[in-house]
Structure 1
Amino acid sequence: MLNDRFVPTNSFIELRKLAPVRQIEAAQLMIAMNKFSINYAKSRLGATPQSQLADTSQPKKLSGLSDTQIALMENESANVDKEYRLIEESYGSDHLDLVVATACADIG
């Protein structure tokens, strides 16, 4: 998915710490946000629950963040992911409604 994008090597190092399904989700978000930096990859790792890491036996190591801050970031990320999916699902029909409404306004 990221072959045709300029992605720093260090970003891939962070993505490899995620489980395969989570890697795909992270890559999709990187493409949607057009952000491929190491810091964005680290933020995706930080927002990933322990159960979605490649090695679930090793705890996440995020310098400068408390366990409470990490938990908050995981919850917020899950909410944003859900909202993004909802928007993505309704985008086609919303766009069609907008085109029809614009066409009707031009006619009337």
Structure 2
Amino acid sequence: DVGRIKEKQKMLKGICPEAVDILKDKTITARALAVFRRVKPMRQIEIAELMVGLNNFSITYAQALVTATKAEDLVGSAGPGNMNGLKAHDLDRMRKEMESFEEDFKEVETSYEDNVMNLTLARGYLKRLLASGNVVRFLSSRYKEILDEFTKIVDSTPLDG
């Protein structure tokens, strides 16, 4: 169907390539993508990262993120978002809470990545230690419970960062 092909071509128009790249292997509806056009490229990237981070690609979540967007990050005459039944002061409070949430989320994401890296390094170090017969004999004769815990760590599934 020619109309369907044209529709798919237009689907990504107005969405920055970086946001598209972040979402390229995710299942997201055309309606949710259309919401991205209401915000500037930097905000599109932020929204894409938040959606991926929470694994939530719904139209409702996309609309909530756009509604919580500052006026200066909106495109042209898009105007601030409006959710049914919310007053201006409720929207302002929601925007502030969303900004705080986004900052907290990015902080947690960064610390998680650091922790995964540290745990991966520690696991590798323990693996090398336990490859030494002398270390294993020493631990098994004096600190059996520590050897057992080290072995569990080394045998555990590696973390992906």
- The one-letter code of the counterpart of 1:10 is R
- State the alpha-carbon separation in 2 of the partners of residues 24 and 92 from structure 1: 19
Question: What's the secondary structure of 1:84's corresponding residue?
Answer: helix
Alpha-carbon distance change, 58 to 3 in structure 1, aligned in 2, over 3 angstroms: closer
- State the alpha-carbon separation in 2 of the partners of residues 28 and 98 from structure 1: 24
Measured after TM superposition, the shift of residue 59 of structure 1 is: 2.2
Alignment of 1:11-22 (within 5 A): 11-22=32-43
| 1:45 partnered with 2:66 | yes
Alpha-carbon distance change, 5 to 93 in structure 1, aligned in 2, over 3 angstroms: closer
Measured after TM superposition, the shift of residue 97 of structure 1 is: 5.2
| 1:76 partnered with 2:97 | yes
The counterpart of 2:56, out of the listed 32, 35, 38, is 35
User: Which structure's CA Rg is the greater one?
Assistant: 2
1:64 aligned residue: 85
TM-score by length of 2: 0.57
- State the alpha-carbon separation in 2 of the partners of residues 79 and 61 from structure 1: 18
Identical columns (%):
27
Query: Which has the larger helix fraction?
Result: 2
- The one-letter code of the counterpart of 1:49 is K
Please, which moves more after superposition, 70-79 or 83-92? 83-92
Cα contact 2:32–2:57 (8 A) shared by 1: yes
- State the alpha-carbon separation in 2 of the partners of residues 9 and 58 from structure 1: 18
- State the alpha-carbon separation in 2 of the partners of residues 17 and 73 from structure 1: 18
- The answer for unaligned runs of 5 or more in structure 1 is none
Cα contact 2:66–2:81 (8 A) shared by 1: no
Q: What is the RMSD computed on CA atoms of the aligned residues?
A: 2.3
Answer 1 or 2: higher relative contact order, Cα 8 Å, separation at least 6: 1
- The one-letter code of the counterpart of 1:6 is T
TM-score by length of 1: 0.82
The Cα offsets for residues 24-43 of structure 1, whole Å up to 9 and x where unpaired, read as 00011111111111101100
Question: What's the secondary structure of 2:111's corresponding residue?
Answer: helix
The alignment of Structure 1 onto Structure 2 pairs a total of residues equal to 105
